[in-house]
Structures are given as structure tokens and as C-alpha cells.
Structure 1
Amino acid sequence: MKKTVLFASLASSSLLFLSGCATPERYGASATMFEQGQYGPARELFKDQKRNPEKDGDKYVLDDLIVGAASHAAMDFDAAIAAFDSAETGIKAQDEALLAGKGVAQASAILSNDNSLPYPVQQYDKIMANTYKAIDQLAKGEVDAARVELNRAGERQRMCKVHFAKLIQKQEEEAAAAKRDAKFADAFKIVEQSLANPETEKNVEAYRAMTEDWGSYADFMNPFTTFLRGLFLALYGEDASDYEEACRLMRQCHAV
């Protein structure tokens, strides 16, 4: 019982932060309501929709995420889980569309600020949808279901590590190639001269002093999700491997 109360408390104190490149007026209104703690009215803004599940696909992902977040914050756990489940369906549809090569036209339209397009789901949206759904299930005492969601969140974090590692490698290779390209030689020369300037060096050192305590994560991770997974395994671990994993996850959080 105490464990359920603990996760119900987590549900009441956590919020899902969502953003889009261009949002209609009601998205702005819902954000204002969130800030004011009016979670019920925030989700009511999205209840008048007439959907066609076969045709709409990922059209309402952002709406579902907002309704899920509002229901989660209002501690209406059943409604939150249902909304996040619906969002997952839309996320799957978007992933399948991207794999099918339909993402190029969408990306072009996104750059042109086309509001008619579905919300482009980000990696953190997927991770946090699983994370908050797990909290809602734990608040209801559905431990096994929560374990599944946290495993999914962990797998998505792992996929993020791979994704961003490839992205960083690509950018490093492009930067190295640019340095070797003669047409960029003058530009790099100007940069080097600028860095050698005493005034620039002074400013760089001042900035470095301001950020000397900062650091980067060794790999991509969402500390909250990592902490929650560690806490879950510490409380509900079934064997030694669960407790070992809990320790590993907590060490990751401590390193942050």
C-alpha cells in the first residue's frame, strides 16, 4: 500500500512538457491552463473531436499526449492511461510512415510551418509517454503492467543512445571533411585568427570559468526515467539481477 501511495505522489508532482513548432490557439490555451493548474479544462479542449481511426493515423498524437498529461496531473489514472495508449497508436503510425519513406514530404512541410501536418513526435515524447503511463499504473497498483512500460521506456532510451551516437559521428565526419575541403580553408583561417585574438581568448576563458562545473552525459539519458526505473526495481525487484540493475541505474543518476 505504501508503495502505491509513493507512486501516486509521483504522479501528482510530475508533468509532461510538450512542444510543437507551430500550435493552433487551443494548444496555447491548454498550456496556459496547465500553468494555472486547471488540468480538467485543459483536457476538455480536446474532447469535441470526431476521429476516424482508420484514416487519422498520427493526426491526434499531440492532442492525446496533452490529454494524457492533463489526466495524469489531475490523478485521473484511467483516463491518462487511455490517452497515452491512443498516443502510442499514433506514434506507431508515424514511425511506420517514416519507414515507408513518407517522412520527406512531411519534413519539407514542417519547415514551411504547415499546421495541417501531424505533430512530429520527438524521442522524449515516446520515453515520457511510457514513463508517465507506468506511474499511472503503479498508482493503481498494476505492478506488472508498469514493469512493461518501464522496460519500453528503457529500450527507447537505449535506442536514443544509438540514434544520437550515429548523429554525432555523422556531424564529426562532416566537420572533418569540411576542414579538408579547400573551399572552406579561408573560413577556417578566419576562425583560427579570431581564436588567437587576445580579446577573444579573454572572453572564451571567462565563459569557460562560468561553465567549468558543467558536464555532458556519457550517453543520452533522461534522468527522471532512469531514476524511476531504478526505484521500481529496488521496490519490486524479483531477483538479484533486478537489484543489480537498480544499483546500476541509480549510479547513472548520481553521475548526472
Structure 2
Amino acid sequence: MSQRAAVLVITLFLGGCAMGGLFMSYPAQIAQVKQALSGPAPLTPLTQLETELNGKDALLYAQEAGRVAQVGGDFKASQDYYRSAIAAYARFDDQATVSLSNLGANAGSLVLNDNVIPYRGPGFERVMVHQYQALNYLMQNDFEGALVEVRRANELQALEQKRYEKSKESVKAMANGTVDGEINRLGQQAGSVTSSFLNAYSYYTTGLIHELLGEENDAFIDYRKAAQIFPGNPYLEQDLVRLAKKLAMPQYQEFKDRFGEAKLPGKDDGQLILLLERDFVLAKQPLTVPFTINGNWQTVSLPTYGNSGPPSGTKSLAGLDTPLQPATIANLDALAINALKEYLPALLIRQAARVYAKSELTRSVESQSKKRRDEFDGAAVAMQIFNVLSEQADLRSWLTLPKQAQIGRRFVPQGHYSVTLGNVSKNIEIRPGQTTLIWAIDTGSNIRFYSINIKSKWN
């Protein structure tokens, strides 16, 4: 490789950095968006996100834009952004052959870093898009649209589980000491959550929508799956007992013995359901290790996760006879950590190929330089600088997702109530035999919540 070729590669790198933000990590790029969501005007960052909707990471930015609009209560706009993300996932599925653009992106990843590869989210993000799309439809009283999305969410969780089971053997084959050590460490951080694709919050949401629309057998199945994934939630346990009794399920006596008899509504009662989402999901951080090959400097930079702390404090819904204290149904930090753990072996194989490719480029430049002993070895020095600077960990992920999801549920006497969550109040109406759904989003220093009355068939 000549000095001219080396300059060409470095120019390509610098151009890629300018166009793709390779010098600025994705968490740094999205920090202003998250800051705006914590303030009173959540729709301000949409212009910033929309400029990226035609780029290589269009799927990721469509997810972020959908979430921003959703937090701001613009469910129609959110619906459109999520529709774009769903279409992007479908295009990935339909790519039976590698296009020239993807070939170039993956070839570039061997010389530059994984950030040049178009973003395709992990399975749990794809499931969350359909879950949130279902809630968008529900908040707009489009119940048929909500049902379509919840069914798709359930199908995707089943498909992701099958895909993971098939990949287990290949993951074992790729494992070595480094891989095993990082996988074990991430596993400890994730706690009792053992997969990224089985999401109790998604199953609870799909079960809830099934139940509200009269499909109680489907609701029971989804509630049971949610309880198996995330045991110990008292509201979910009560749902299982109540539906098992109503549907004359054989599990009724077992559930009653374990969780107690279900509380049933009075004739003038309505149902209040609270979905509370808290804080922001954990962002990835780089783990960079410098080393030498043949006397030349190289670096390896991998994405990883630091410690995930709990959401700050606790919040309950005041303004009822007694406050409604929600209980956790999912920790999305754990899902994100598990997604990285499942992806790590394949990532490390690509990392090894990149280290080899960069090493060969450097050796080629040095070989050419030795033939011209009287010239300054600028190309070789430039290649070593290039190797170090171009190694940037891929820290992309859907960062406007919540850290934690909680639920609360209670039968409440009919009437008008002024309920308060944190320092935000809202007037709601409880109607006999109907459900009042409150969807609250706590972004750390600001809370927004939205409500809808649904003529449900739970009574």
C-alpha cells in the first residue's frame, strides 16, 4: 500500500467522521434531546431528529422521534414516526441479498468501526415499537389498530425467542475467556432478567389491551407470561386470580392460594389503571484497550454498560381515598444489558477481523516506506494515528426509552377526582363499569400524564 493510498484511507475516515458523527458518541448526540424531554417543551428536539430520518441510522432516529412526540402527547405524530421505524425493520427482513450500500458499510466497518454499519435495533427495541404503537392507537380510541399492534408484539417476542435458541450453539462456539468474562459480568448486572426479548411490560400491555377489548382468554395468557418473566408484582397477581376465577380456569385455586382472593368491583365502581414509566434507560459506554502488534499501536474499543442504579425515590398517585402505589413490572436497563450480552460474541469476531485488517494496512505502509529509506516515514506514522483514532465503540441504542416501567390498578367509586403524581395534578373521571387509563411518563425532573376513559368489558 502506497503513501497515497494511506492518505486516501485517512481522508475517508475523516469524511466519515464529519458525516456520521463518528467523533461524537451517540449518547452525546442525544443528550440535548433527553434534556429537552426533562423540561416543559418536549417537541423542540423533533427538528434535530428529523434531519437524520433519511440517513443510515434512520430506524434509530425514527424510534427516538416517535418517543419524543409520544412523551409530548402528540400520539398521531408518534404513530407516523413509529410507522417509519416498523417499515425500516421490514426492509431489513426483506434483504435476501447484500446490497452494494450495505457491502460498503460492512467493508468500511473492517477499516473504521461499527458506527458505519446502518443501525438495526435489538429485538426488545423492535417489540417496544409495536407496544408503544398500540398505546398510540389506544390513546386515540382506535381499538382495532391497537389489537393489530399487540398481536404483532407477541409474535415478535416468540420469533426472537426462537432465534435466540437457534443461536445458542454458535454463541458457545464463539466464546473464549474474554467473551465469557464480559458475558458473565453483564449477566451479573442484569440480575434475574435472563433475556432481552422477553419483556413483562410488553406482555402486560398486550394483555391489558386484550382484556379492555373483551378478549379475556388472550389477556389471561399474556398476564401469565408477564408473571413468569417478572414474578412478584401484586397487581399482576390479582389480575391472574380475577381472570382465572371469571374464566373458570383450572389454575384458579392455585393462584388464589398463592396470591389471595381477587378484589372485585362494586356495582358503582370504575377501574383505574396506572402505567408509569420512569427516567431514561442506561446508555452504553466505551471500554477501550490499547496494545501493540508487530511494534505498532492498535486499540480495541467495545460497548459495555456501567452500573444501573434505581430510579430516584418513589412516586404514588394521590387524590384517591388512599394513594395508589405502583409496582415495578420491568427494568429496561436489564433488557438492554442482556441484549448486549447476547450480541457480544458476534461483535468480538468482527472486532478481531478489524484489528487484523488495520494491522495489515500498517504493515503494508511500512513495507513501502522501507523501500524509500531516505524519506520521512509519514505514512506509517499517520496509519498508526489513524488506527487509534478510528477505533470508536458503537454506543448506539434507543436512549429515550424509560429505565423502568411500573403499574398500579384499583377499583374506585365513580366520581370526579383530582389526582396528583409528583408535583403534577390532573382531573379525571371514574365511570361505573368503565376503565380510566392513566399513562404517566416521568423523565426525572418532569412528569407528564395522559388519561382516557374506555368502555371496557371487565365487569
Once the two structures are superposed, the pairs formed by residues 117-156 of structure 1 within 5 Å of their partners are 117-156=117-156
Distance, in Å, in 2 between the alignment partners of 1:49 and 1:144 is: 31
Deviations 1:218-248 (A, max 9, x none): 89411111001111111112xxxx3222112
Residue in structure 1 matched with residue 167 of structure 2 by the alignment: 167
- SS in structure 2 opposite 1:100? coil
- SS in structure 2 opposite 1:39? coil
1:253 to 226, 235, 242: 226
Alignment-mate amino acid for residue 229 of structure 1: T
Residue in structure 2 matched with residue 201 of structure 1 by the alignment: none
Residue in structure 2 matched with residue 191 of structure 1 by the alignment: none
1:232 to 206, 209, 228: 209
Alignment-mate amino acid for residue 42 of structure 2: Y
In terms of mean alpha carbon deviation, does 25-34 or 121-130 score higher?
A: 25-34
1:28 to 31, 35, 51: 31
Residue in structure 2 matched with residue 85 of structure 1 by the alignment: 83
Deviations 1:158-185 (A, max 9, x none): 111011111223334666xx8xxxxxxx
RMSD over aligned Cα atoms:
3.3
In terms of mean alpha carbon deviation, does 20-29 or 152-161 score higher?
A: 20-29
Distance, in Å, in 1 between the alignment partners of 2:209 and 2:152 is: 14
- SS in structure 2 opposite 1:75? coil
8 Å CA contact retained: 1:24, 1:115: no
Cα shift at 1:24 = 8.2
Distance, in Å, in 2 between the alignment partners of 1:95 and 1:37 is: 38
Residues 1:43 and 2:41 are matched in the alignment? no
Cα shift at 1:216 = 4.8
- SS in structure 2 opposite 1:144? helix
Cα shift at 1:35 = 4.2
Residue ranges of structure 2 left out of the alignment (5+ in a row): 1-21, 178-187, 231-459
Percent identical among aligned pairs is 19
Distance, in Å, in 2 between the alignment partners of 1:48 and 1:94 is: 21
User: Against the structure 1 CA distance between its residues 162 and 22, is the aligned structure 2 distance closer, same or farther, given a 3 Å change threshold?
Assistant: farther
| Aligned length, in residue pairs | 193
Distance, in Å, in 2 between the alignment partners of 1:122 and 1:251 is: 24
Once the two structures are superposed, the pairs formed by residues 174-189 of structure 1 within 5 Å of their partners are none
Once the two structures are superposed, the pairs formed by residues 1-80 of structure 1 within 5 Å of their partners are 22-23=25-26, 26-36=29-39, 38-48=41-51, 51=54, 59-80=57-78
Larger RCO, structure (CA 8 Å, separation 6 or more):
2
Distance, in Å, in 1 between the alignment partners of 2:46 and 2:205 is: 26
Structure 1 runs (4+) deviating above 6 angstroms are none
Alignment-mate amino acid for residue 34 of structure 2: A
Larger Rg: 2
Which structure shows the higher strand fraction? 2
Distance, in Å, in 2 between the alignment partners of 1:50 and 1:216 is: 33
TM-score normalised per structure 2: 0.37
Distance, in Å, in 2 between the alignment partners of 1:33 and 1:89 is: 27
Which structure shows the higher helix fraction? 1
Distance, in Å, in 1 between the alignment partners of 2:109 and 2:26 is: 12
8 Å CA contact retained: 2:52, 2:61: no
Residue in structure 2 matched with residue 199 of structure 1 by the alignment: none
Cα shift at 1:90 = 1.9
User: Against the structure 1 CA distance between its residues 50 and 154, is the aligned structure 2 distance closer, same or farther, given a 3 Å change threshold?
Assistant: closer
TM-score normalised per structure 1: 0.63
Cα shift at 1:37 = 5.9
Residue ranges of structure 1 left out of the alignment (5+ in a row): 1-19, 179-186, 188-210
